[in-house]
Amino acid sequence: MKRRISSFLVLLGAAVCLTAGSGSAWATTAKTAANTQIINTATLTFTIGSTTSSASASVSVLVTLVPSAPIVSISNPAATGYTGPNTPELTDSVTILSTANGPAKYTVTPSINTAANSTGASVTPSVGTDVWLGASVTSARTLNTTTLFVPSVTYATDAALNGPAQVNGLGIGDSIVFTDESNNTQTQTILNVSNPGTASGTATITLSLPVTVATGTPIYEQTSGVNSFNIAVKPGTLQTPGTFLTVDVKAEVSGTGFTTVSVMNSTASANANAGDPSKAPTNLNVWTSAPATVSITKYVRNASNAAANPAGNCSTVITGTSDSWCTSGVSGKSGDVLEYAVVAKNTAGDVAGNLAACTISDLLPPAFVTLACNGYNTDEDVHFIDTSAGVHNLKACGNVAGSWANWNPAANPNLLVYVGNGSGNGTPGAVPFGQQVTITYKATIK
């Protein structure tokens, strides 16, 4: 604290000199605010004849910072729905409460501790970020008022941390924590600061609520309000739709003079849903997802006799053609050629992810129909329309398993086609969210 301590030594006699007492009477502890100047003045009062005079000598000591490990906690928001890679972003909050006797620098380094059902989860910032927190100690008692009294600090001590409206790093809008005379922990926001900037003066801190606080009470700042420290958490890419994606964030707080403090979502609080795997953990960053869903529709038209196609239940399925395809009501006779279309779309609920390893298998009842080999052209038995509306002309008749399309009724009456992006001979492909694939083929009624 910026205190001026005077020793008045009154002696009778002429020209008698005496020094101040032992310096141990003003020894500082961690409960004395850093940057306080302890000024001791010894005064000699004496008389010469009928004249009384005095002489003084002073010495000052600057109180330095006593490092102390901060109190650190981390909190995460409620679960939200996953909508796509790295979307949406969640925000974790790290609270750092200083326990030093003056302004101190803390370096916060966030990272991913664990991520489940995800690849590529990340945090921002991902490197160490410096946070300055102020602190002081009351120099006088506060009795049921909104004003705290702390030692003034000269502006030259550290211009970034001291000024007319800031003292020892404590400024307007900062959140401070202290204990009142009833031993209750108070957390208040600073409304105003008045720091005269003198070496032996008193600065005042104005609060919103009245308090009673003893002299020598530490005043600590915490990250909150204007000095909040937040971590942006991105989920990466969901691996299995229909299950939770979870990210456990770790925050390490380091500094000079104390052991690094580490906190994690998983250890900061208990999981209120522990024991029920159907519910999302409450102490982790959680993104929920709906099961992957698709829509698949099969259409048919009589390519030999347009009159056999009904007026209803029909629509133009293939972009760029005028052919009308129906979901029901089509008739045909022996020898008629039926053209089928199968449309599969990735609707995926709220999961903007791929459907992987996609194939379409379609049964051609061998007792009634046979695949029209060369139905479109030579060695063109099946048209596969990919997600970009590109048309692939595929041979299927007689092909063995593992071909891009194959139909060998002696072994298997099903027409099998590998579909999706990246599909090919024996290779199933992927259908991205919101996109579709289509196959068409012709069959002759026996």
**What's CA 308's distance to the chain center, in Å?**
60
Indicate left, alpha or beta for 99 from its phi (over 0: left) and psi (-120 to 50: alpha): alpha
Beta bridge partners of 227: none
Residue 361 has a CB neighbour count (10 Å cut-off) of 10
Q: Do domains 71-133+228-288 and 294-445 have the same CATH topology?
A: yes
Give domain 71-133+228-288's CATH superfamily: Uncharacterised protein PF12988, DUF3872 (2.60.40.2410)
3-state SS assignment for residue 53: strand
Query: Taking Cα atoms as reference points, which of 361, 383, 359 lies closest to residue 431?
Result: 359
Number of residues that this document lists for the chain: 446
Please answer whether residues 170 and 193 qualify as being in contact, where contact means their C-beta atoms are separated by less than 8 angstroms. yes
Residue 126: CA atoms inside 13 Å, Cβ hemisphere, count?
7
- What kind of architecture, by CATH, is found in domain 294-445? Sandwich (2.60)
Q: Phi/psi at 92 (nearest 5 deg)?
A: -95, 150
Q: What is the pLDDT along the chain (446 residues), one digit of tens a residue?
A: 322 222 322 333 333 332 233 233 323 346 788 888 888 889 999 899 899 999 999 888 888 889 999 999 999 999 999 988 999 999 999 999 999 999 999 999 999 999 999 999 999 999 999 999 999 999 999 999 999 999 999 998 888 999 999 999 999 999 999 999 999 999 999 999 999 999 889 999 999 999 999 999 999 999 987 778 999 999 999 988 888 999 999 999 999 999 999 999 999 999 999 989 889 999 999 999 887 788 999 999 999 999 999 987 788 888 777 888 999 999 999 999 999 999 999 986 555 567 889 999 999 999 999 999 999 999 999 999 999 889 999 999 988 778 999 999 988 899 999 999 999 999 999 998 889 999 999 999 99
Kindly list the domain boundaries of the chain, sorted by start residue.
Answer: 3-62, 71-133+228-288, 139-216, 294-445
pTM above 0.85, yes or no: no
